[in-house]
């Protein structure tokens, strides 16, 4: 019997989404900064991300701001009682962000898993390189992507400000980080 590989992968992702548990996705690149680890790979028009922050609250990533936090595409999440909560946000000002859906856009994050362990939170998810939503930036893997990383205090709330943040320049294809 021939098994269609695409259906198999889609089914696996679906099953994992149902259970909320992480499976061993192989990431091609990894970088660490200020208590955060960002692992990723680019495949099939998507960016697959694993994000760890030393907090029991939220951990988040942002792409391509214009000024401070403004205009960046954010994915933030926390794990509460084993359940992964993830939001797709947009930088509506230099110092804040709002959910794409509240702004009239769409949620384009596929949750793969997440866990809270040893006072650290890990999220795994994927986003399209070009979702078509005007509240998501188009990611060019060959160019330089400005990546914002941050985590909040030990509170499961998206309202609390960051306890740590960082800005890095990444070539998503080669893994070069500046």
H/E run at residue 166: strand 162-170
Question: What is the x/- site pattern for ligand HEM, positions 101-140, by CB under 6 A?
Answer: ----------------------------------------
Q: Is 62 in the site for ligand HEM (CB under 6 A)?
A: yes
Q: Is 51 in the site for ligand HEM (CB under 6 A)?
A: no
- State how far Cα 108 lies from the chain centre: 11
Q: Is 74 in the site for ligand HEM (CB under 6 A)?
A: yes
Q: Is 165 in the site for ligand HEM (CB under 6 A)?
A: yes
Cα 43 to Cα 34: distance, rounded to the nearest angstrom? 27
Identity of the residue, 65 or 113, whose beta carbon is nearer to ligand HEM in the bound complex: 65
119: helix, coil or strand?
coil
Contact of 151 with 36, CB cutoff 8 Å = yes
Q: Which of 51, 109, 150, 170 binds ligand HEM (CB under 6 A)?
A: 150
Least spacing, CB of residue 19 vs ligand HEM, in Å: 26
Phi, psi of 9 (to 5 degrees): -65, -45
Contact of 147 with 71, CB cutoff 8 Å = no
Could you tell me which residues are beta bridge partners of residue 96? 93
Q: Is 169 in the site for ligand HEM (CB under 6 A)?
A: no
Interface contacts to ligand HEM, rule CB under 6 A: 60-62, 68-69, 74, 76, 95-97, 148-150, 158-159, 161-162, 165, 167
């Amino acid at each position: 019997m021939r098994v269609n590989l695409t259906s198999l992968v889609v089914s696996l992702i679906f099953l994992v989404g149902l259970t909320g548990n992480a499976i061993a996705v192989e990431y091609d690149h990894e970088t660490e900064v200020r208590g955060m680890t960002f692992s990723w790979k680019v495949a099939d028009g998507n960016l697959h991300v694993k994000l760890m922050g030393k907090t029991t609250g939220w951990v988040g990533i942002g792409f391509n701001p214009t000024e401070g936090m403004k205009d960046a595409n954010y994915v933030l999440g926390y794990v509460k009682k084993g359940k992964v909560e993830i939001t797709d946000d947009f930088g509506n000002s230099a110092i804040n962000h709002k959910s794409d859906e509240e702004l009239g856009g769409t949620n384009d994050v596929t949750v793969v898993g997440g866990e809270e362990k040893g006072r650290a939170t890990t999220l795994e998810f994927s986003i399209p390189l070009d979702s078509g939503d005007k509240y998501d930036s188009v990611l060019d893997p060959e160019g330089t992507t400005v990546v914002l990383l941050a985590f909040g205090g030990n509170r499961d709330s998206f309202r609390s400000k960051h306890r740590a943040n960082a800005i890095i320049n990444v070539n998503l294809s080669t893994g070069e980080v500046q």
